[in-house]
Amino acid sequence: MAYTPRLTAEGILNNFHWYSDNPFYQSGYGMPNCTCYAWGRFWEIGDPNSTKENKPIHLPTGNGGQWWGRAVADGYYDTGQTPQLGAVICFSDNYGGAGHVAIVEEILEDGTIRCSNSAWRSTYFWISTIRKIDNKYNWSHYTCQGFIYNPFADQPIPPPPPPVTILKKHKFPWAVLTNKIKRNRRTFF
């Protein structure tokens, strides 16, 4: 199954991934909210048939700026500095705010990523484009801490390795002497 990016809000409203079964919604921090959105989207990726499978109970439930540290300390999900489809991108806030989390939906050839987002008491859903500058995915007043990888997000097949160059045989600059050995052939009947 190929990864299907979420580029619109269609199907989010009243969906249990973001509402009734989402711990942020249950605690009064539902949509619009980056953490509620990211938690629900992470789950939706692992539950494409909406059967309530693969609930991400080990995904952090604090403020966005706390997700990275908790995920690294917990070690349940793989983490790293390279974006992958379906991964949570975690940001700290340079002004001391609560941080931000979003989901990587597309990775372009130049390394630019497109992420789906929501914002606490603000925008319900939007897509952000984040360019890699100086080997970092910083955005607005946020500093990228890293990525929490979703084990259920199918990654694109990596490109095949470049073809192997086969060197042509070169003729020796000198003559090679060979001895011909004649063999006696006997025929047996």
**Which pLDDT belongs to residue 155?**
63
- CA distances (Å), 80 to each of 71, 122, 140, 150, in order? 11, 29, 21, 12
**Which pLDDT belongs to residue 176?**
46
pTM of the model: 0.81
**Which pLDDT belongs to residue 102?**
98
**Which pLDDT belongs to residue 156?**
53
- Span 82-114, pLDDT tens digits: 999 999 999 999 999 999 999 999 999 999 999
- 156: phi then psi, degrees, rounded to nearest 5: -65, 150
- Span 164-187, pLDDT tens digits: 555 555 554 444 444 444 444 444
